[in-house]
Amino acid sequence: MNRVASRAVMVLLPFILAGYAFALPQDTVDFTKPPAKGLKYKVIQKRTGQSETTLAVSDREPREISQTTSGKMVFTQTILEVKDGKIVKLDRVYEEAGSRTENDQMPEPREQENPLAWKHIRAEWNEDGECKVEIKEGDEWTEPEDKMKRRLRPQMLRNPLIPLPEESKKVGDSWELDEEAAKKFFGKPPTLPGEDAPEIEREAKFKITGITDFKEMKCAVIKMVSKISVDESMSQTMEATCYYSLKHCIIVGMKGTGTNRVNRTMERGEMIFEIDSSGTQKINAEVKILGPESQDEE
């Protein structure tokens, strides 16, 4: 290479390197950016589970029960308004929402429909961050019944699959939910009438492990590990991999596996119940981007 050519390369080298640096994927995920107004997407969430249980009632012979469960939740969500970096108004229309339980002690499977099935809900946040949720009945918007309210936790309306941080994170960063956020994420565990309030321990930890292409979308890969235990007699753990679209600012995919364990004794009048159960479960969520749509009020 002659001297002129060498000098040309040396002059151009910083620009060439800068071009390569610009082409590299960024390692920072900006969670402060909300989904765009008008974003419309469908969430298809499926759960399956299998458990083995030994049930002993007073002096009777224990029974061995094998059980399988499955559930599906499908809804379409539309972002109606965004203000100061947060979603302040959204619509959600449910389709399928229910579960199926089958075990070797039941004459036939039990189908149970979620009260939100085929409901159209709207959530709106005021300046103080308080959320108002309404359900459309005919042409009117009304307050949901209590059995529906328990399933419409505001913090899971903005982020349907997992809670997200409110600040930027880099690949390799980890974080976890504080006590109050964990309560909102897990919700209240089921208790039987007459039981004292149980001692509950909750934790949920997250880590960004990389940035990759997922279904033709550039996504941050988020690993989640969660656990909840109730009075040391009930526990459930879950490990999941989630994909956060950098363009759409939502989780667009999730796959997870979990285990649950129950070992407790209950008294009901003169009856004593002893339950020893263990099981596994799988969760799979798929999100389809349906595109923007007009925000004209109905």
Give the pairing of strands 271-292 and 174-176.
unpaired
Phi and psi angles of residue 4, each rounded to the nearest 5 degrees, phi first: -65, -45
Torsion of CA 257, 112, 200, 277, to 10 degrees: -60
Query: In the predicted model, what is the mean pLDDT of the chain?
Result: 85
Beta bridge partners of 292: 39
The tens place of each residue's pLDDT in the chain, 298 residues long, gives: 554 444 443 444 444 344 444 433 468 999 999 999 999 999 999 999 999 989 888 777 888 889 999 999 999 999 999 999 999 999 999 998 899 999 888 889 999 988 989 999 999 999 998 999 999 998 899 998 888 888 888 878 999 999 999 999 999 999 999 888 888 777 766 555 556 667 888 899 999 999 999 999 999 999 999 999 888 788 899 999 999 999 999 999 999 999 999 888 887 777 888 888 999 999 999 999 998 854 443 3
**Collapsing DSSP states into helix, strand and coil, what is residue 93?**
strand
Tokens of 239: 């490990």
**How many helices and strands, by DSSP H and E, does the chain display?**
4, 15
89 dihedral zone (left: phi>0; alpha: psi -120 to 50; beta): beta
List helix spans (H) across the chain: 3-23, 146-149, 155-158, 179-186
58's enclosing H/E stretch is none
Q: Using one digit for the tens of pLDDT, what is the confidence trace for 62-81? A: 888 899 999 999 999 999 99
**What is 26-292's CATH number, 2.60.40, 2.60.120, 2.30.230, 3.30.70?**
2.30.230
Compute the distance between CA of residue 266 and CA of residue 194 in angstroms, rounded to an integer.
11
